[in-house]
Amino acid sequence: MSSSRIEYSEKYADEENEYRHVILPKELAKELPKHRLLSESEWRRIGVQQSRGWQHYAIHRPEPHILLFRRPLGTDPQTGQIDPELKRLALEEYKGQFGLRGN
């Protein structure tokens, strides 16, 4: 399967996680398990390419070709581990975007 046909959303966040969704070609999605989440090795095997730390966390039942991913704020993209300083900076950025500084 060519990973060039896989589409990636921009990242978005809340106070705990950053998120993104990945849109697979519908013909590829037909071959995926229907009632369970994919492990990292499974989504990488089908051609999804993203940094470390992402977890397939939900099935979007109306459109099963859209995979929903999340990872904790402050995750180091090279190690997949949470870095306290990266987490602090990401939380500051999130609060700044929504005028929540000082909360």
Nearest to 70 by CA among 52, 81, 54: 54
Residue 64's φ and ψ, nearest 5 degrees, are: -65, -10
CA 83/CA 80 separation, integer angstroms:
9
| DSSP H or E run through 37 | none
The answer, yes or no, to whether residue 2 has pLDDT greater than 60, is no
Higher pLDDT, 38 or 98: 38
CA torsion through residues 70, 76, 77, 81, sign:
negative
Q: What is the pTM of this model?
A: 0.85
Instruction: Judge contact between 24 and 51, C-beta under 8 A.
Output: no
Instruction: Judge contact between 19 and 68, C-beta under 8 A.
Output: yes
pLDDT digits (tens, 9 = 90+) for 3-18: 569 999 999 999 999 9
